[in-house]
Amino acid sequence: MNKAYSYIRFSTKGQIEGRSLKRQLENAQEYANSNGLELQSLSFRDLGVSGYKGKNSTDGELGKFIEAVKEGVIEEGSYLLIESFDRMSRQPVETSLMLLMNIVDLGITVVTLMDRQVYKKGEMNMNALMLSLVSMSRAHEESATKSKRVGDAWHKKQSRAASEPMGSPLPSWLHYSDDKKEILVSEVKAIIVRYIFLLSAEGYGRAAIVRRLNNEGIPPISSRASQWHTSTISKLLNGRMVLGEYHPHVTNSKGKREATGEV
């Protein structure tokens, strides 16, 4: 009995609470049962990950699946079950097609559950492949349109940033007023920030500041951290946010953040 692995992706984490995750899991199980496949408990899930820039196939779970096949952890002849091509990729057609062909060439049979199309090495159906190209093209165009629409809205919002709060995550020592119209200082956290600058001015290095803060039991200003780290200290001392400056950033075509517009 051939082994089957499900790959599940959707762009927004809010879909976890909706039907998207459950539907994709149920479809994979139903197909495996109907076609004599052994669906593995190990599944690959990129939840809240966009397929528009291909991060799911490079840094995400789809990339881990491909690596597992290359390393022999997942054996040739196994099946990869996906709801539709837009779950695997929303990149340009040529990039999406190359991704599909690379997976098939590794000896993995890819099945799109929505239309029950099967893509297997040495048994590629040209009609099915042409339909998949149309699906890939449509998915990329939809994502490109959405990206442009979101980008336009972002730039309009950015142009108002100097006169009104943007709604973006704030530095840890700031918080919004109840009506979201003002940015206020969290005084206790601000005192800690000033203390860090005082220690630096007195000649303490980053590592020494971290040791002192942790030894003195001073809690990190970020709610996500359990202790102080040198990277946090460096970001504080080298950045200009403490001076009240905010420089918007965007993600470029290579997936890297870069500054944009005016400070």
Query: Tens of pLDDT along 187-232?
Result: 899 999 999 999 999 999 999 999 999 999 999 998 778 899 999 9
| Per-residue pLDDT at 51 | 59
d(CA 173, CA 195): 13
Backbone φ and ψ for 2, nearest 5 degrees, come out as -70, 145
Residue 124 is predicted with a pLDDT of: 75
Q: Which of 192, 180, 127, 162 is nearest to 262 (CA)?
A: 162
Q: What is the pLDDT of residue 17?
A: 46
Tokens of 9: 């992706």
User: According to the model, what pLDDT value does residue 210 have?
Assistant: 95
pTM, to two decimals: 0.51
Here the tokens at position 84 are 């539709």
Q: CA–CA separation, 261 vs 5, rounded Å? A: 44
Q: How far apart (Å, rounded) are the C-alpha atoms in residues 240 and 263?
A: 10
**Structure token pair of residue 1:** 């009995």
Which two three-digit tokens encode residue 250?
């965007």
Residues in the chain: 263
Q: Is residue 250 within 8 Å of 152, Cβ to Cβ? A: no
Q: Give φ, ψ of 111 to 5 degrees.
A: -125, 130
- Residue 214: name the closest of 226, 203, 198 by CA: 226
Distance CA 254, CA 242 (A): 29
For residue 153, what pLDDT is reported?
58
Phi, psi of 245 (to 5 degrees): -95, 145
Distance CA 58, CA 43 (A): 17
Torsion of CA 53, 54, 59, 63, to 10 degrees: 180
Which DSSP category does 259 fall into?
E
φ and ψ at residue 155, rounded to 5 degrees: -70, -35
pLDDT < 70 positions in the chain: 11-20, 49-54, 126-168, 250-255
Q: In sequence order, what are the residues at sequence separation of 6 or more whose Cβ sits closer than 8 angstroms to the Cβ of residue 108?
A: 69, 74, 76, 78, 79, 80
Of 95, 94, 105, 36, which Cα lies nearest the Cα of 69?
105
Q: List helix spans (H) across the chain.
A: 20-34, 55-58, 61-70, 85-88, 93-105, 126-159, 187-201, 206-215, 230-238
- How many Å apart are CA 163 and CA 177, to the nearest integer? 16
